[in-house]
Amino acid sequence: SLFRLKDLEVPKLGDSDVHIKMLAAPINPADINMVQGTYAILSPLPAVGGNEGVGEVLEVGSRVTALKPGDWVIPADAGLGTWRTRGVFPEKMLLKVPRDIPVLCAATLSVNPCTAFRMLADFETLAPGDSVIQNAANSGVGQAVIQIAKASGIKTINVVRDRPDLPQLVERLMALGADHVVTEEMLRKPEMKDIFKSIPKPRLALNCVGGKSTTEMLRHLQPKGTMVTYGGMAKQPVMVPVSAFIFRDVRLRGFWMTQWRKDHAQDPESVAGMMDSLCQLIRRGQLTAPACTQVPLQDYKAALEATMKPFVSSKQILLL
């Protein structure tokens, strides 16, 4: 296996450093891609895995101003290496989060909900009553999109792969606030027209699959609508009929949360504004952590294996 559990010395605390005790950290597909070397970020090896999680501040250096012992923090950026029990990091690598949100919400805040929030906000100006279509709707991002959209009065059409436990999955997504849940196969069926009797065709499509799924979603997009690709689980290219470009002038965009953070590194207000909005939704019960399985760190091998299995509807979270 590429992974080993190792005991290391905690480095000395510098003036601008923060010593944290990690509380919980999820395993995301991108974390595994990073270790496999198939992701855009490569950490020099040996490296600690994990790009998100929540920790508690134990001790701060003399120059640290924004954090104090007892505060909860999450990574300000990808590549922190959160699968560890303790760590010493420069203050600028951490963001403070409120302690009055559930620990699993804090642990899963910095990647999926932020991605969902930005994609709903940054590409199309959506108003209450507008609709969005997305594939892999049961993913962490998908679940966040459903809930954030619902809180803003935006309708969601959610595409999932057919599976043995489909009725349970549909029920779970509807409980989160999904308006419609359809399978990839249903996207091609004439019955799709029935959906658009009650809601407008979407102006925004969110794609993290690629291949056929994308082409089918594009059919239902409004003229001049935008499709944002943020993942490619099918490992197939995005195929677009020429007619969609010419006659419907659809726009194809890409989104990568890591890049957004780089672009907004000098703009702490935009980051703080997003975090505040998300924490407000969490406090109001409008945004929950994705379905999670909590795993003690020593069982990390089982957690990694579970993450790689198809049709996993539960995110593995390492308890540290």
- How confident is residue 1, by pLDDT bands cut at 50, 70 and 90? low
The region, left, alpha or beta by phi > 0 then psi within -120 to 50, assigned to residue 25 is: beta
pLDDT at residue 203, rounded to an integer: 97
Tell whether 3 is covered by a domain: no
The average pLDDT across 125-151 equals 96
For the chain, percent of residues with pLDDT exceeding 70 = 99
**How far lies 261's CA from each of 225, 266, 271, in Å?**
25, 9, 8
Q: Among residues of the chain, what percentage have pLDDT more than 90?
A: 76
What is the chain's mean pLDDT, rounded? Answer: 93
Tokens of 163: 């599976």
pLDDT tens per residue, range 7-19: 888 899 999 999 9
Q: Are residues 176 and 44 in the same domain?
A: no
CATH of the domain at 95: 3.90.180.10
Candidate list 14, 32, 33, 39, residue with the active-site label: 39
Same structural domain, 117 and 92 = no
The model's confidence at residue 233, banded by pLDDT at 50, 70 and 90, is confident
Domain membership of residue 280 (yes or no) is: no
Over residues 8-62, the pLDDT tens digits come to 888 999 999 999 999 999 998 888 888 777 777 777 778 898 999 999 999 999 9
Q: What's the whole-number mean pLDDT along residues 259-274?
A: 93
Say yes or no: 65 and 134 in one domain: no
Confidence of residue 105 (pLDDT cuts 50, 70, 90): very high
- Contact of 187 with 217, CB cutoff 8 Å: yes
What is the pLDDT, as a whole number, of residue 78? 84
Does some domain include residue 268? no
Residue 163 lies in domain:
112-257
Which of 241, 257, 273 corresponds to the end of one domain?
257
**CA pair distance 72, 25, nearest whole angstrom:** 13
Pairwise CA distance, residues 295 & 19, whole Å: 24
Q: Work out the average pLDDT over 269-280.
A: 96
For the chain, how far is it from start to end, CA to CA, in angstroms? 21
Span 153-172, average pLDDT: 95
Report helix, strand or coil for 92: helix
CB 21 within 8 A of CB 53: no
116 in the same domain as 92: no
Cα→Cα distances 289→20, 104, 150, 206, 314, Å: 22, 6, 15, 20, 11
- Distance from chain centroid for Cα 232: 14
State yes or no: pLDDT of 110 exceeds 80: yes
Tokens of 167: 């009725």
**Dihedrals φ, ψ of 79, to 5°?**
85, 15
Same domain for 77 and 116, yes or no, is no
Same domain flag for 81 and 26:
yes
230 tagged catalytic: no
- Predicted local distance difference test score (pLDDT) of residue 107: 96
Q: Is the pTM of this model over 0.85?
A: yes
